[in-house]
Amino acid sequence: MSYDIHLFSRETKLKAQKQGQFDFFDDDKNFEPFTDQQIKELMERLTDYGYEFIRKDEFGSHYSHEEFGISASLANNGLYFSTSGDEDDIFEMGMTVSEFTDSGEFEKYDPQNGGWEEID
């Protein structure tokens, strides 16, 4: 079983909260795209965090972190992290995604843990 955590633009989170629809995530048109600059910065940050570029295809750029067994896919509208059920890998992935929100441009969405991360 895999564990997934996503990173979206702040605008996507605000839109999701405003719409409040159960099926918000089922329609790609609901997601606000990243800017070219944000994509560039996310690619650099993944590399800085030890993620290795694997390939690029129609779905985005794909990365892997060997040490933690985490994969990441950077699309135009989200950064999608996934790992197996290993607790250490899940913890590391969750911390990484939380750190990616430090600029205020991005928001963490953890579907297995209640949704949007709220920091008080």
Query: What's the rounded mean pLDDT across residues 8-15?
Result: 94
Q: Which tops the pLDDT comparison, 115 or 63?
A: 63
55 domain residue, yes or no? yes
3-state secondary structure of 71: strand
Which pTM does this prediction carry? 0.91
| Token pair for 78 | 């989200």
Q: How many CB atoms lie within 10 A of CB 13?
A: 18
Asked if residue 37 has pLDDT above 70, the reply is: yes
108 domain residue, yes or no? no
DSSP 20: -
Q: How many CB atoms lie within 10 A of CB 28?
A: 11
**Residues 80, 61: contact at Cβ < 8 Å?**
no
Number of domains in the chain: 1
47 domain residue, yes or no? yes
The residue count of the chain comes to: 120
Tell me which residue range forms the domain holding 58.
33-62
Contact partners, residue 107, CB within 8 Å, separation at least 6: 7, 8, 9, 10, 12, 13, 101, 116, 117
Query: What's the rounded mean pLDDT across residues 90-106?
Result: 94
